[in-house]
Structure 1
Amino acid sequence: MTVRTLWSIYLLLLGPTLPLWASHISCINEDGKPVDWYILYKFPKHMSYDVARTGLEYMFMDSVTPAWKLSKYFINMTESALGQTLQQLYQTYEAKNSVAYVMYNDGPPNKMNYSWTHGHSKGFLLLEESQGFWVIHSIPEFPPFPEDGFSYPSTGKSYGQAVICLTFPYDQFAEIDRQLLYYNPNVYNCSIPKPFQGELFYVQILCAGSQLPPAPWNQSLVKLQSAKAETFFSFAKTKCDHEDIYVAWMAQKLQTDFLVESWQRKGHQLFSNCSLPYHIYNINRIQTPWNTSFSSYYDHSKWCVSIRPEDQWTCIGDLNYAAQQSKRSGGFVCTQNRYIYTAFRSLVLHYYDCRELHESIYGSHSIVF
């Protein structure tokens, strides 16, 4: 009996016991349970004070258990939260009218060409006519085409990667569709049946391989509400907005100083920036709750967190804090969930202020509210 068959039987048996909101397409955690959201953080191969790693280990947290937990699975296993969530897509993608899905990545799988003309964004969404999920991630060449089934690319092993999955009611996908107009993502596989085309107007244009109309503005900020009514803010920018999204927009709009973690490629990284009322500080090193750490040079994730506990902002998204990224489209989702904030703020071991390297004043301890 295949894993896919076992999963189908499991959902069939579990379905009647679930609350109404959770009996539909949603983010699935490692226990096989529908959750409002989850976050995965895959470790890089290169970490201090540790034995050699495979590049597949990760920690996770979700709306049920909102604190970092070391996974007992590798990220390439179907039992992982990412694998279980994607199984819903791989099992239902042939359903011609009951579900819609979109996969996008500037570096798509199957040796397809990298896209410099689309957004620097990676993600996928799956929905039915009651609810669905939106996954934003940093993994190149992922996810695989539906007909290929679940796997994890070798190109995603060396560096750290971040994944956030959000479950939304159906009416929120019209807002997400409008945000994707600004992202202009490189869609490489999709299906938008007729019942969904009203809500997914712009995505269906991309799905057809056509060019999007110009966005009405260079930026768009909208409020989204998850299936359990938790608020998230979506920042989206076009390639015509040449300002850095961290410095010029998110920090100033949310009125917070941000610690920023993104891929620090040599010769491409920016310095910490204190030129505007709210500042950006470049993270230099990440620590885990298990007394290991790694350099931002080995981290491909893109996130930022308020330096002040009272602000409580955490944002996860698409764009690196790098000069050339200011000319790419993409975006972030931001939240003031205090558990998410505490989890991410505790990861900051060292950062640069606007003059020199400083150790976080909170060290390796979580912030108490």
Structure 2
Amino acid sequence: MDVLWMIVLTTGLLGSHCEGAISCKNEIGGDVDWFILYKNKCGVDYVYTDSKDQNLKKNNKPVNNQAGVLAHTLNPYFEKSSDSAFIAYSDQPPNGKTASSTYGHSKGVVMMDKDNVVWLLHSTPRFPAGDKSTNFYPDSGKTNAQIFMCVTLKSTESAQIAQHLKGINAYIFDKHNPEKLRDSSTAPQPPYHEDLKSAGGQQFTRFVKQISGTRDPEEGDLYVTIADTLRSNLYIQTWHSKPEDPNKRPKKYQLVTIMSVKTAAGSWEHGSDHSKWCVSDSKDWMCVGDSNREPSQFERPGGALCINSKPVADEFRQIKSITGSNTDSNTDCDTGPSSSKRKRVGSLS
């Protein structure tokens, strides 16, 4: 598996006869530089923003639509052409197993051709569930809110993604053309952050946190690392995190738990949201992470990708609330005719 860490993409390594470079896609299959998709707590509706329209609004097609945002973006994953390569990673892969806690609580797909790299980070267990546009979204993913962030990068940025996956010790469960993926990098020692530029010039920063064997939040909390680096207070949404444990940092930046969310696709409480994201209280940063604010995760590797965009930060500040019922109500969600109603599992997910 370690041979997959370094993604080497040089001119001529992959075929040059493919029609168009790999890219994040919108719901009609058009290329976008980046997008963020935030699914509601029950079902398949979601709000969406991208490089062409930075308003966070409800999308017309469901998240599992075979001609929708995710399906279009994942087309190289479905096709497995000789001109492309990919890796899919998740500590909760679709085979029903769970990776050990030595791996990051991280989920994503990296797809590449000779020109571009697409990095799709997300929070959905068992995703992609299959390798076709008709079966890629798991029924279990319809329960609880989930988030996806996609960014299109030039192939020259592939080494940074490789370093990131190595730093978070991502568990790779699927791959294509692995001979085109080689480990020849040395990742910096965590914690660290590095800037990225999308293919369209949008500024991003990626974070890799350190591990704390003593579960010290000052070392092992991803959001402490982000707040200290950005020098900003943060509003944070993660699974099962508690506003009082750990939340207060008297001499540094405040980390405030989001207790409810109100979007054009619906409203939900903290206990129904499996996504992991944060937004600065005043600066132009919004981040999608892979770690929860739970002491058990301070001793696991992890990281985040942050976008520097005032419209995006403003939209995510607008949908959050720091007040709510603070209850983990197990709202049943009907996941479709082939599934019975499922209750949200109480353990870390």
Give TM-score scaled by structure 1 length: 0.76
Q: CA deviation at 1:148?
A: 8.7
Q: Could you tell me which of 67, 78, 82 is aligned with 2:55?
A: 67
Deviation at 1:57, TM superposition (A): 1.1
Whose relative contact order is higher, 1 or 2, with alpha carbons under 8 Å and at least 6 apart?
2
The structure 1 residue matched to 2:171, chosen from 179, 186, 192, is 186
* SS across alignment from 1:346: helix
The yes-or-no answer on 1:223 pairing with 2:199 is no
Deviation track 1:222-249 (CA, whole Å, cap 9, x = no partner) reads 1111000111000013545752434531
Q: Distance in 1 between matches of 2:229 and 2:212?
A: 19
Using the TM superposition, give the Cα deviation of residue 73 of structure 1 relative to its aligned residue in structure 2, in angstroms: 1.4
Aligned to 1:207: none
Distance 1:324 1:276 in 2: 24
Post-superposition shift, 1:333? 0.8
Query: Aligned partner of 1:179: which letter?
Result: H
Of residues 90, 94, 97, the one that matches 1:105 is 90
Q: Judge conservation of contact 2:236–2:258 (CA < 8 Å) in 1.
A: yes
- SS of residue paired to 1:68: strand
State the Cα RMSD in Å. Answer: 2.5
Which sections of structure 2, spanning at least 5 residues, go unmatched? Answer: 1-18, 327-349
Matches within 5 A, 1:26-41: 26-41=23-38
Q: Which residue of 1 aligns with 2:344?
A: none
Task: Find out whether 1:23 has 2:20 as its counterpart.
Answer: yes
- Partner letter of residue 251 of structure 1? A
- Could you tell me which amino acid in structure 2 is paired with residue 279 of structure 1? Q
Map of 1:83 onto structure 2: 71
Rounded to whole Å, the distance in 2 between the matches of 1:100 and 1:245 is 33
Structure 2 counterpart of 1:197, one-letter code = L
Contact 1:61/1:68 (CA < 8 Å) preserved in 2? yes
State the partner residue of 1:170.
155
Q: 1:129/1:225 Cα in 2 relative to 1: closer, same or farther (>3 Å)?
A: same
Cα gap change, 1:247 to 1:128, in 2 (>3 Å): closer
Indicate the residue corresponding to 1:197 in structure 2: 181
Report the alpha carbon displacement of residue 106 of structure 1 after superposing the two structures with TM.
0.5
The worse-fitting range, judged by mean Cα deviation, of 251-260 and 22-31 is 22-31
CA shift in 2, pair 1:269/1:111, >3 Å: farther
- Residues 122-161 of structure 1 show CA distances to partners (whole Å, capped at 9, x for unaligned) of 0011001111200000000001343796421122111000
* Equivalent residue, structure 1, for 2:346: none
Q: Distance in 2 between matches of 1:145 and 1:289?
A: 29
Residue in structure 2 matched with residue 350 of structure 1 by the alignment: 322
CA distance in structure 1 between the partners assigned to 2:23 and 2:184 by the alignment? 22
More helix by share: 1
C-alpha distance in structure 1 between counterparts of 2:57 and 2:50, whole Å: 10
Q: Residue type of the partner of 2:269? A: S
Matching residue of 1:361: none
Question: Which of 139, 143, 146 is matched with 2:128 structurally?
Answer: 143
Distance 1:257 1:268, change over 3 A: closer
CA contact (8 A) 2:78 2:131 kept: yes
Aligned residue-pair number: 304
Q: Secondary structure at the match of 2:55?
A: coil
AA in 2 matched with 1:57: D
Q: Do the aligned residues in 2 keep the contact of 1:281 with 1:351 (CA within 8 Å)?
A: no
- Residue 349 of structure 1, CA deviation: 2.1
Partner of 1:366: none
Compared CA separation, residues 111 and 71, structure 1 to 2 (3 A) = same
Aligned twin of 2:341? none
Amino acid at match of 2:206: S
Contact kept in structure 2, 1:268 and 1:323, CA below 8 Å: no
1:250 paired with 2:247, answer no
SS at match of 2:75: helix
1:175-324 matches, within 5 Å, as 175-194=160-179, 196-197=180-181, 201=184, 217-239=189-211, 242=215, 243-264=219-240, 270-289=245-264, 292-308=266-282, 311-324=283-296
Query: Is the partner of 1:345 in helix, strand or coil?
Result: helix
Among residues 303, 312, 325, which one is paired with 2:297 in the alignment? 325
Where in structure 2 are the equivalents of 1:7-22 lying within 5 Å?
Answer: none
1:324 to partner: Cα distance: 1.2
